[in-house]
Amino acid sequence: MANENRLLSVMKSRRKVWTHLELCDQLGVHICELARLVSAAKESGARIKGESGERLSGTSKLWLEQ
């Protein structure tokens, strides 16, 4: 089962902007579980940022601010 530490490890493994689908695939979790992990990681102090909208062709992106 994935946890916040695994999420952060995956996000740090490559310096990139992640889509929700990419993170779900890497962690082997459903989007609902990913949302819970991101929320828990943020509450623990992780600097996860996100953006979505028309500028990104209607997709949502997440990244780890260093």
Structure confidence at residue 1 (pLDDT): 61
Mean pLDDT of 36-43: 95
Contact 38, 3 (CB under 8 A): no
Domains within the chain, CATH numbers bracketed: 4-64 (1.10.10.10)
Q: Please give the model's pTM, rounded to 2 decimal places.
A: 0.84
Q: Say yes or no to pLDDT of 16 above 90.
A: no
10 contacts 26 by C-beta, under 8 angstroms: yes
